[in-house]
Chains A and B, each alone.
Chain A
């Protein structure tokens, strides 16, 4: 299996560390709804098919990425940066792409 890191290009998946289901979202820190926090930690849809998941490019740029992958065929259809700086970096990589 190979993942195309938006910064580093296509790399073997061994360079990456799996970080789990990306659809699990942390409730706001001030939220006191215990069930929401527990659901974030423990509840998973575990789909057989398209799965959005977090990978960290540990042996590369060390960025967190959201990978869209089919859990039955292992086909990867998306690999996007994520985090507060994702937008900026996306724009930068688009500029780099345009220069080339």
Chain B
């Protein structure tokens, strides 16, 4: 059923008895053309673009829990493309291009809200680096504006822009057409659209092993039996090392780490955009329900625990309050942790291999949500054509071996600092 104002009206008149579920719950077939392991944002968008762009509809998405039960449902919903390095700029700008039309493409309101992302600068030196990054963005065709302190103050009246702030604000870099989207809706929208094109979404189906013929991957073993496919894509974020180990891949340039995020109680609108703190690491926006959604650094050490530690709470909330002193009395509604696949250079991997018949989508660090459309789009291209698209050609595993890491931060092979 197509969602529209007309459909709402028609169903309202008929007592809303005729709405159908957004997607089917099919039984697994013994074989598919393509299997995608992981029913999160990236897996679902890959399946959608395989079906819609490449005409490959005999596809199964295998998810151990329910669809969107992983990081796509627990992030801080920020969408942006304010990168410095060319491969990243091109890739995330492709994502922005898809984001702008996504609600129409999927016939599902993903509530994409290009409200602007503002990075605050707290030193003159930081203003210089933002000027450089802003210019770099403009060279790549991405809008950017360098703001002085007064402009920042006018844009965000709640911010402490006084000279007596703990970290006085000098200005900021604004990407005006970046913003937010509704994270769950992205997963549901891709799932529904893929399902309508004939993709089988297999929930509560856990991969327990990979089927091999020689060195070639020919499908997966699951708790619901064997499922075969000539092509198997893996998009399992923080569980990448766990899943790839089942295929016999012991070593990857990835470490898993916990990232926490937080939501405050609801308040009236005060933050019109997304603001990031430049003297530490914090990003905050306000949800449509009024809660402040914010997060900061990862927990720095390897972890699969899906829960965090209090020191990060302290760091993040103190940064928030130093920016917005009037938030000091707000109460936290909830906090949560998710496992991040931190790559060695902070950039993703979308590639063929590392085994025959296999394709890997991983290394999203904690920026995977904004990449959801382009990640699926590029991964679908890579799977359909057995070679990467120009846009993801740099995101290989080989880049770590041939001296071409894409280290946006310049932090070196220290995944816990990216």
Identify the A interface with B (CB < 8 A): 1, 12-14, 18, 20-21, 35, 38-39, 41-48, 51, 53, 69, 71-74
Contact = CB atoms under 8 A, between A and B. Distances in A.
A21, A45, A71 pick with most chain B CB within 10 angstroms: A71
Contacts of A21: 255, 302
Given A18-B300, A74-B303, A46 B252 contact: yes
A12 B416 CA distance: 19
Interface stretch (B71-79, B206-214, B229-237, B304-312): B304-312
Given A44-B254, A46-B241, A73 B413 contact: no
A12 to B, nearest CB: 8
Contacts of A38: 400-401
B242 interface: yes
A39 B302 contact: no
A1, A18, A42, A43 pick with most chain B CB within 10 angstroms: A42
B304 A72 contact: yes
A71 B239 CA distance: 13
Identify whether the interface residues of A are mostly helix, strand, loop, or mixed.
mixed
B400 A14 contact: no
13 contacts: A14-B311, A20-B416, A21-B255, A21-B302, A42-B401, A43-B252, A44-B252, A44-B344, A46-B241, A48-B304, A71-B305, A72-B304, A73-B305
B251 to A, nearest CB: 4
B271 to A, nearest CB: 29
Nearest to B405: A42
Interface string B301-335: 11111000101000000000000000000000000
Contact of B302 (A1, A12, A71, A73): A71
B416 A46 contact: no
A48 B242 contact: yes
Contact of A72 (B254, B255, B305, B413): B305
A47 B253 contact: no
Interface string B292-304: 0000000011111
Contact of A41 (B241, B252, B413): B413
Nearest to B240: A46
Contacts of A44: 241, 251-255, 344, 415
Nearest to A46: B241
Given A18-B301, A71-B304, A46 B256 contact: yes
Contacts of A53: 301-302
Interface residues of B, number: 24
Nearest to B256: A46
A43 B413 CA distance: 10
Contacts of B344: 41-42, 44
Given A14-B311, A38-B401, A71-B256, A46 B302 contact: yes
Contacts of B416: 18, 20
Given A14-B311, A39-B251, A45 B241 contact: yes
B253 A42 contact: yes
A58 B416 CA distance: 17
A71 B251 contact: no
Contacts of B242: 48
Contacts of B301: 13, 18, 53, 69
B327 to A, nearest CB: 24
Given A44-B415, A45-B251, A47-B241, 10 more contacts: A1-B309, A14-B311, A18-B300, A35-B401, A41-B400, A42-B401, A48-B304, A71-B302, A71-B303, A73-B305
A44 B244 CA distance: 12
Nearest to B253: A42
B105 interface: no
A42 B400 contact: yes
Given A38-B401, A44-B251, A20 B309 contact: no
A39 B253 CA distance: 9
A55 B417 CA distance: 14
Interface string B245-262: 000001111111000000
B414 interface: yes
Contacts of B256: 46, 48, 71
A41 to B, nearest CB: 5
B302 A51 contact: yes
A12, A35, A48 pick with most chain B CB within 10 angstroms: A48
Contacts of A48: 241-242, 256, 304
Nearest to A48: B304
A51 B251 CA distance: 14
Nearest to B307: A74
B241 to A, nearest CB: 4
